[in-house]
Structure 1
Amino acid sequence: MKYIDEFNDPELARKLLEDIRATVTRPWALMEVCGGQTHSIIRHGIDQLLPDEVELIHGPGCPVCVTPLEVIDKALAIAARPGVIFCSFGDMLRVPGTDRDLFRVRSEGGDVRVVYSPMDALELARRHPDREVVFFGIGFETTAPANAMAVHQARRLGLANFSLLVSHVRVPPAIEAVMTAPTCRVQGFLAAGHVCSVMGTAEYPDLAERHRVPLVVTGFEPLDILEGIRRAVRQLERGEHRVENAYARAVQEDGNPAARRMIEEVFEVTDRSWRGIGRIPDSGWRLTEAFRAHDAEHRFDVTGIRTEEPAVCRSGEVLQGLIKPTECPAFGTSCTPRTPLGATMVSSEGACAAYYLYRRMDTTTRKEMSPVG
């Protein structure tokens, strides 16, 4: 890739769309498993430029959105404690807990800081040995190596005042959960390219074979996504179900071996709850026993948390691909980016935020618009 514009070329987009239209003969439902891809799809109107036979279902690919309410409430409880510097990426600060968010905790006197890397939090721990520094470690496989490295470095440097509140989730078990749900309509997947750039594709062939679905590893620019859709539709029309790498410029079959080794040293696989979905076996990571001293959940013994989701919020159904954001009665009325009821309206990768940001209340004219223009 020389220039990002190469992957936004309208003429190439038209050719891919024409190829998809020429290939498809019956309805197909594909799911993208990445919030970044969802935003690109909605921003560029890709879903509305596709032939009517191809439906895109937005999956649980937003790490902020799937962080369970119980973990959010634990973060709020820890951040409110005296002597704690609580560090997080900015998009977590407005995610609503049961009765408040991290912005509210900060306004009430909690030392809540936005950082751009777990290493920033590690530096704070070095500079403030008299304070407990906690980093909110959320995300899919993409953020796990950096968070693992921070814990690894904390132990190496003897920074006993640094800990990680872990809420890491893994994509392959989520795909398994989607495919085994009784309401599943998904017939193919666009797999997240950045996840595969870390972990590789070794876990995907079994999923494709057992559930008889194509799995196409896809990037994030308009042409990346259209090419992923083209390949998935071609497989479906041919009755094929295999893994294809349409993001070869970033993804190798074995991913990033150094990053995977760091993850395997610091984390171990565990069951994990997903907000709006429930508990998925083997779908997350936690710190291994060797690094348990840096586990904020154990260090602060945050127990007795009772959670309650807003009754009107249907973000769980959005995350499962059961409804589009505009089908929720709270969308754009009682739930907006300024007054969010659920994380899907807060996060920069949330489907509700994408629909709100790009004004998808009116969906009548996009078919006439120029591709990716």
Structure 2
Amino acid sequence: MKYVDEYRDGAVAADLAKAIAAEVRPDRTYAFMEFCGGHTHAISRYGLEDLLPENVRMIHGPGCPVCVLPVGKIEEAIALAKRPGITLCTYADLMRVPGAKGESLLKAKAAGADIRMIYSSLDAVKIAEANPEREVVFFAIGFETTTPPTAVALKAAEAKGLKNFSIYCNHVLTPVAMRAILDMPAAPGEAPIAIEGFVGPAHVSTIIGMEPYNEFAEKYRKPVVIAGFEPLDVMHAILMLVRQVNEQRSEVENQYIRAVTREGNVAAQDLCDEVFELRESFEWRGLGAVPVSALKLKDAYASYDAEKRFATTTIVAADNPACECGAILRGQKRPSDCRLFGTACTPETPMGACMVSSEGACAAHWTYGRFRDHQKTARRAS
């Protein structure tokens, strides 16, 4: 397939692996975080860690929008969906995320709540238009990639004069989460997070551009290389990070030049600036309450704000105490470190969001990585 197969060429991947091996220093280790869940799945799916030298470690980050949503938000959405006359619309990945008591949006739907899985934010607008007797709420989540479509949906509802459409806004910000990880002290009994550089997110960066990452290079002295999602993109980005570390450089570089520009999508940025403003604080799974890390609707669009329209109550709830999803999202543990992984927690019976989402680290490791773990163990034993 043109423009896809070119980025999955095994021979080129082998050459990149040789280049990385030739440039890493044998007297030190390298630790890079791939922030985005899409990169985590690419690394697992294509076995990229098997191509890297032993002293190059990839750390999974919190770039899964479903995973970082705290349990309390799932509980709030379930409570909202159970109100008479409300139709809740959201993306499919959210449906199976377990709440505090094991309930999920999917189970609430089975019990009678009107919850609809949609593929586009505009689908929620169409549902509101087709059902004027219902209050249609769009449960909006995600990083900067999915924020503009939510703004588009709001503007479309406004243009149609829909009075029965509102948005339950839970959009979060990538650079703030990266900063929170770097500033976070080690949790009791856990090792500090040793991150020497970031594989920067792809789709997020098509929206926000390169400038928001400058603080990590300038203030924290951590290089950032924005990369595409194909395996050769990721391998090339790792090579670029190794070179920066070896040369003691801290710069923002763009490997994904076919899609990301320095300024990003200015039209999308302007639309979001019109519709949204910063929240004072927002709770993240694994990171806790992070100041100015999320968005809410501006007062000018208060009539479309589900929190105000339905006077929603903030619910604080804890994760399953045996689930390590929080530590995995912080990059302090791997999926295989969780004692629930592969036993009580599987894609069929997920105990945490990291096993549910298509971008979750546990789902990626279940699908691809666990087999290589067994192979490595067998090789060591022999």
Q: TM-score, normalised by structure 2?
A: 0.94
Aligned equivalents of 2:110 and 2:349: distance in 1? 17
Q: SS where residue 233 of structure 2 aligns?
A: helix
Name the residue aligned to 1:120: 123
Select which of 48, 71, 93 maps to 1:69.
Answer: 71
Name the residue aligned to 2:11: 11
Measured against aligned partners, the alpha-carbon deviations of 1:175-218 in whole angstroms (never above 9, x if no partner) come to 11111122221010000011010111111112211000110000
5+ residue gaps, structure 2, are: 186-191
Name the residue aligned to 2:154: 151
2:238 pairs with 1:232 = no
Deviation at 1:312, TM superposition (A): 0.7
Name the residue aligned to 1:371: none
Identity of counterpart residues, as a percentage?
A: 45
Trace 1:1-373 onto structure 2 (pairs within 5 A).
Answer: 2-25=2-25, 26-99=28-101, 100-182=103-185, 183-270=192-279, 271-303=281-313, 305-360=315-370, 362-363=372-373, 365=375
The residue type paired with residue 140 of structure 2 is G
The residue type paired with residue 289 of structure 1 is D
Distance change >3 Å, CA 81–CA 184, structure 1 → 2: same
Distance change >3 Å, CA 227–CA 367, structure 1 → 2: farther
- Asked if the contact 1:62–1:350 (Cα under 8 Å) also holds between the matched residues in 2, the reply is yes
Q: SS where residue 349 of structure 2 aligns?
A: coil
Aligned equivalents of 1:306 and 1:27: distance in 2? 39
Q: SS where residue 279 of structure 1 aligns?
A: strand
Q: SS where residue 32 of structure 2 aligns?
A: strand
Deviation at 1:102, TM superposition (A): 0.7
Tell which deviates more after alignment, 175-184 or 87-96.
175-184
Aligned equivalents of 1:149 and 1:260: distance in 2? 12
Q: Post-superposition, which runs of at least 4 consecutive aligned residues in structure 1 deviate over 3 A? A: 364-368
- RMSD, aligned α-carbons: 1.7
Distance change >3 Å, CA 89–CA 304, structure 1 → 2: closer
The residue type paired with residue 250 of structure 2 is H
- Asked if the contact 1:326–1:361 (Cα under 8 Å) also holds between the matched residues in 2, the reply is no
Aligned equivalents of 1:254 and 1:93: distance in 2? 35
Q: TM-score, normalised by structure 1?
A: 0.96
Tell which deviates more after alignment, 214-223 or 75-84.
75-84
Name the residue aligned to 2:188: none
The residue type paired with residue 157 of structure 1 is K
The residue type paired with residue 324 of structure 2 is R
Distance change >3 Å, CA 268–CA 128, structure 1 → 2: same
